[in-house]
Amino acid sequence: MVVAQFPTARPVAKNIPIAMVNEDQGPMGQKVAKQLTDITKLGTGSQATTIKWTTKPTEQSIKRAMDQEKYYGAIIIPKNFHKTCRWFRKMDNQLK
């Protein structure tokens, strides 16, 4: 006799810890950081995965926390990110 059980429930990840540091002082870095942290859910309904954002002060603090497995992922907005965005915008305008 063989007995098998197939799970009917599908586990959904909730409150996935993600860290972020914004080292950019320009308005573009702050705008990107806000837009990212406003994303708290991926998917819809009861099957949605939720994200728990934590802001860290430095890239080094994120690396330490990642080594301790406190976060599943991290986003680092580097210094002078806004200058890079301006460069891309300038190049895009030149191509038009």
Interval 25-35: pLDDT, tens: 888 888 889 99
In whole angstroms, give the CA distance from residue 74 to residue 24: 16
Residue 5 lies in a domain: no
Residue 8 lies in a domain: no
Residue 4 lies in a domain: no
Residue 38 lies in a domain: yes
Per the structure, the complete domain to which residue 51 belongs is given by 16-95
Residue 71 lies in a domain: yes
Residue 86 lies in a domain: yes
Answer yes or no: are the C-beta atoms of 47 and 10 closer than 8 Å: yes
Residue 29 lies in a domain: yes
Residue 9 lies in a domain: no
Counted domains in the chain: 1
Strand 49-55 vs strand 16-22: parallel, antiparallel, or unpaired?
A: parallel
The closest alpha carbon to 73, from 96, 42, 95, 51, belongs to 51
Instruction: For residue 16, give the amino acid letter.
Output: I
Interval 36-88: pLDDT, tens: 999 999 988 888 999 999 999 999 999 999 999 999 999 999 998 888 876 65
